[in-house]
Amino acid sequence: MRIDIITCLPKLLESPFNDSILKRAQNKGLVEVVVHDLRDYSEDKHKKVDDYAFGGGAGMVLMIEPIAKCIRELKDQRVYDEIIYMSPDGENFSQGIANELSLKKNILILCGHYKGVDERVRENFITREISIGDYVLSGGELAAAVVSDAIIRLLPGVLGDETSALSDSFQDGLVAPPVYTRPAEFEGLKVPDVLLSGHQKKIEDWRFEQSVKRTQLRRPTDSK
Ligand code: ADE
């Protein structure tokens, strides 16, 4: 899989992809993440990529020209399954969307900034708009990193234990059950006996029960 990300702040996207699971996934050749600096596509001598909003109002708007140039150049090289714009008014990101996107071959993500992006970009180049929650970030970069992380960890071979992504919270519509590790007792705080019983069926049943209880408590609207 390949993920291209267009941003005017490429530095913000350096570290998320340069450590741990995401770095290993790239080193193993399971995913290629390529960050494009929007300023490289500006025709302006000062590398300007934004301008004042027509009609007035505070905040700058990302201009269509550099974005169109960048997207067109990328589209000349490969076919994108989705061209995503990160925006607080997009559809709310979920495990279901991460699952769906993890099956694609090429994804292009455009990060918004300032007051957003010229509406003509959204209307003519974008196939999908995604929000990571009902709050406003300074830009789409961190949101793009969140979405990419959720996708990449689902790719076959990325996680050591193939089953671990499937047992994540939300994969079965339930939040994950509590987990414990050594020591079995810490200052009188004990790990539930069932987890030490060695009885796999009882452990599975207990985990399922805990997941259901937690989902009812923490996501009451999702519980049937
Ligand atoms: N850009 C700014 N805020 C955002 C959000 N909540 N989700 C996605 N992109 C954004």
pLDDT for position 223: 54
50, 63 in Cβ contact below 8 A? yes
Could you identify the residue written with the tokens 């992006």?
A: 117
pLDDT for position 49: 97
Mutate to test the pocket of ligand 1, among 7, 113, 137 (most ligand atoms within 8 A of CB): 137
* DSSP H helix total and E strand total for the chain: 7, 9
78, 132 in Cβ contact below 8 A? no
Report whether residue 140 contacts ligand 1, using a CB cutoff of 6 Å. yes
Class of the CATH domain delimited by 2-152 = alpha beta
Report whether residue 7 contacts ligand 1, using a CB cutoff of 6 Å. no
For the whole model, what pTM was predicted?
A: 0.93
State the 10-residue block means of pLDDT for the chain, 224 residues long: 98 94 95 98 96 94 98 98 97 97 98 92 98 96 98 93 73 92 98 98 98 96 64
pLDDT for position 114: 75
Residue intervals in the chain for CATH 1.10.1270.20: 169-224
pLDDT for position 222: 67
Name every residue whose Cβ is closer than 8 Å to that of residue 91 and which is 6 or more positions away in sequence.
97, 128, 129, 130, 131
pLDDT for position 163: 60
Class of the CATH domain delimited by 169-224 = mainly alpha
pLDDT for position 111: 98
Residue intervals in the chain for CATH 3.40.1280.10: 2-152
Q: Which atom of ligand 1 is nearest to the CA of 132?
A: 7
Report whether residue 109 contacts ligand 1, using a CB cutoff of 6 Å. no
Q: How far apart are the C-alpha atoms of 78 and 83, rounded to whole Å? A: 12
pLDDT for position 166: 72
What are the C-alpha distances in Å from 38 to residues 42, 50, 184?
7, 10, 53
